[in-house]
Amino acid sequence: MTAALLLRLDRISRSVAPLTLCIGLLIMAALPLRLPGFGRVAPDVALIAVFYWSVYRPDLFPAAAAFFLGLFNDVLIGGPLGASAFVLLLAHWLVRSQRRFFVGKSFAVVWWAFGMVAVGAGLIAWLVAMALALVPVSITPALFRCVLTVALYPFLTWLFARTQSSVLARR
C-alpha cells in the first residue's frame, strides 16, 4: 500500500518536474538585475523550455503545459494575458509536427533549428504586440531578445539535459 503510494507520488513528481523547473527559471529571469536595458531584452526562457521539452520529452510536456507556462509568464511580466501562451503554443505545435526532423540530429543542427523557431516566435510576438496596442512598435528589442535567447540556449539545454538524466531517466 505504502509502496504503491510512494511509487505513484514518485511518478507524479517526475511528470511535473519539467514544468516546475520552468516556473522556477521564469521567476529567476524576472528578478531585477539592474543591468541597464536588460529587463527589456531578457532572454525568453519559456521558449527555450517549450522547445527543449517538446523535442526531447513531449510525453512530459503537453500543450497544456506550454499554455500554462505562457499564462504564468504573462502575469509575471505584466503583458497582455494570453500573448505569451499564444506564441508558446504555436512553437509547441511547430516542434511537435516536425519532431521527426530532430531525431538523431547533432546539437548544432537542433540549435540552428531553435534559432529559426526563436526568430519566428519573436516576429509573431511583435505582430501580436502591435495588434493589441494598435500602434507601430519598434522591433529592435525583439531582435536583441532573439539573439540573447539563442545564445542562452546551450546553457539551459545543459541544465535540462542534466535534469532529464538525473531525475527523469530512471524508470
Partner 1 sequence: MRVALPLRALVQRFGLFFLIVAAFSLMLMGKADSLLFDSIRSSVADVVAPILDVMSRPAEAVSGAIDNIRELSRLRDENARLREENAQLRHWETLARNASDQNAALRSLLRLAPEGSLSFVTARVVADSGGIFVRSMLVNAGARHGVMKGQAVLSGEGLVGRIGAVGDRSARVLLITDLNSRIPVVLETSRVRAMVAGDNSARPKLVFLPPNATASVGDRVITSGHGGGLPAGLPVGEVAAVGDDGIRVRPFADLDRLDYLRVVRFEDVTPPVEAARTTERAR
Of the candidates 36, 103, 104, 166, which one interacts with partner 1 according to CB under 8 A?
A: 36
Nearer to partner 1, 19 or 125 (CB): 125
Q: Which residue in the set 42, 91, 150, 156 belongs to the binding site for partner 1 (CB under 8 A)?
A: 42
Q: Which amino acid is at 161?
A: A
| Interaction of residue 142 with partner 1, rule CB under 8 A | yes
Which range of residues in 12-20, 62-70, 100-108, 159-167 is near partner 1 by CB under 8 A?
Answer: 62-70
User: How many CB atoms are located within 10 Å of the residue 92 CB?
Assistant: 25
Burial class of residue 137 in the structure, from the number of CB atoms within 10 Å of its CB (0-12 exposed, 13-18 middle, 19+ buried): middle
Report if residue 145 touches partner 1, rule: CB under 8 A.
Answer: yes
Query: Taking a C-beta distance cutoff of 8 angstroms, is the pair 65, 92 a contact?
Result: no
How would DSSP label each residue in 53-84? Answer: HHHH-GGGS-HHHHHHHHHHHHHHHT--TTHH
Q: How far is residue 59's CA from residue 66's CA, in Å, rounded to a whole number?
A: 13
Given 8, 80, 98, 101, the residue binding partner 1 (CB under 8 A) = 80
Q: Which residues bind partner 1 (CB under 8 A)?
A: 27-42, 62-64, 66-67, 70-73, 75-86, 89-90, 92-93, 96, 125-126, 128-129, 132-133, 135, 137-138, 141-142, 145
